[in-house]
Amino acid sequence: VDHPFESAIAAELCAECSSLIDGAQRYAKQNPPTIHDYQQMLRMRQVEELLRALYTEGFIAGSMHLAIGQEAVAVGATGSLQPTDYLTATYRGHHHTLAKGVAPSRLVAEIMGREAGLSHGRGGSMHSFAADVNHVGTSGIVGGAAPLALGAALSAARLHPGRVALTVFGDGAMAQGSIHEAMNLAALMKLPVIFVCENNLYSELTPTEATTAVLPLAWRAIGHGIPALTVDGNRVDQIRGATLAAIERARAGQGPAFLEAMTYRLCGHYHGDPEVYRTKDDVEAAKASDPLALTAATLRDNGVDQATLDGVVSEVESEIIEVREHALASPLPDVSTLLHNVTKESR
Ligand SMILES: Cc1ncc(C[n+]2csc(CCOP(=O)(O)OP(=O)(O)O)c2C)c(N)n1
């Protein structure tokens, strides 16, 4: 009996993993962090700080999950897609929605339940959707959005060859059947899907190592026959390099890839989380790897002066004031229209 790692399939998969890693390194080198990356990350951070304030002021209801500290994953991964490519993501999806090209004012208005929102306020924080940029949607169900990316990828393969679908989920979703069913089918059908696992070390309040026997999580994708790698998700060039390499494979008909982006959530799991599962010191220590600080430091090392970085901050701050005003000026939907576009009969 052959040792499984000596089989032809394992050798082929090993070669695919190596070429994915080579591609990731090459693309990362070719695409170092830029001022534009910094601006995009800062915009995401400030949009979520605005949402935090609006929630506290009573303008937002229901559960809201912020992703402060995870901005580089959205800019590097989703930001590497073309407008015609497809995206699905989890409830912690504000950054990815912005990175897919949705204007901050439409997202904020949506989360506030306003008419000017993406779905006229019907979707809220956990369910953003924007057909005009092929954002197929975020889902409140852990692992719920990955199968939808397979549908988008299948339609791409049949109707629009060259397009890809990217799906984003957390480390906790790696324990969901839906993710493994999606990975198995994507590998079997060689679908153009990029699986991006945002590993922020916690599934809600539970550390990943308390729930998962096999780490790193990327290994579990290799078990499905999908080339995979783990990258520093706080380094925008690292996650972008890996995503561009995965996209290149997928566009060429070589099937799915899996990227595990190591990151950290610098805010609670949900707005209002007392965060009893970690210490304030843990969070303070993690701030040393805050993607915004890392990007600013790299830009300074590459010769960008502080005045330029400060200029970006002022620009984004002014933009956010307008986003707030725009959202507050938009009316709430009229009660008589509440079921419009919600059920088939009531439009
Ligand atoms: C199918 C399902 N089970 C349980 C929940 C409750 N729940 C919400 S978030 C969450 C943790 C998910 O953690 P992870 O996938 O790591 O993503 P993160 O929240 O860290 O971004 C759980 C269990 C849910 N929304 N859906």
pLDDT at 346: 58
Q: Is the pLDDT of residue 96 over 80?
A: yes
pLDDT at 347 over 60: no
12 pLDDT above the threshold of 90: no
pTM summary value: 0.96
**Cα–Cα distance for residue pair 89/70, rounded to 1 Å:** 14
**By percentage, how much of the chain surpasses pLDDT 90?**
92
**Hey, CA dihedral for 175, 179, 180, 183, is it positive or negative?**
negative
Q: Ligand 1 pocket, 73 CB below 6 A?
A: no
Using a 6 Å cutoff on CB, does residue 200 contact ligand 1?
Answer: yes
Q: What gap in Å lies between CA 63 and CA 126, rounded to an integer?
A: 8
Mutate to test the pocket of ligand 1, among 127, 142, 271 (most ligand atoms within 8 A of CB): 142
Query: What is the Cα–Cα distance from 60 to 53, expressed in whole angstroms?
Result: 9
Taking CA atoms only, the protein residue closest to ligand 1 atom 17 is 170
124 Rama class: left (phi>0) / alpha (psi -120 to 50) / beta: left
pLDDT one-digit tens code per residue, 278-328: 999 999 999 999 999 999 999 999 999 999 999 999 999 999 999 999 999
What is the C-alpha to C-alpha distance for residues 82 and 70, in angstroms, rounded to an integer? 21
43-83 tens-digit pLDDT: 999 999 999 999 999 999 999 999 999 999 999 999 999 99
**What pLDDT digit, counting tens, does each position of 121-150 carry?**
999 999 999 999 999 999 999 999 999 999
Banded pLDDT at 4 (limits 50, 70, 90): low
Are the beta carbons of 271 and 55 closer than 8 angstroms? yes
Regarding the beta carbon of 139 and ligand 1, being less than 6 Å apart is answered no
* 95 ligand 1 Cβ < 6 A: no
Q: Name the residue at shortest CA distance from atom 22 of ligand 1.
A: 204
Note the pLDDT of residue 64. 97
Q: Is the CB of 202 under 6 A from ligand 1?
A: yes
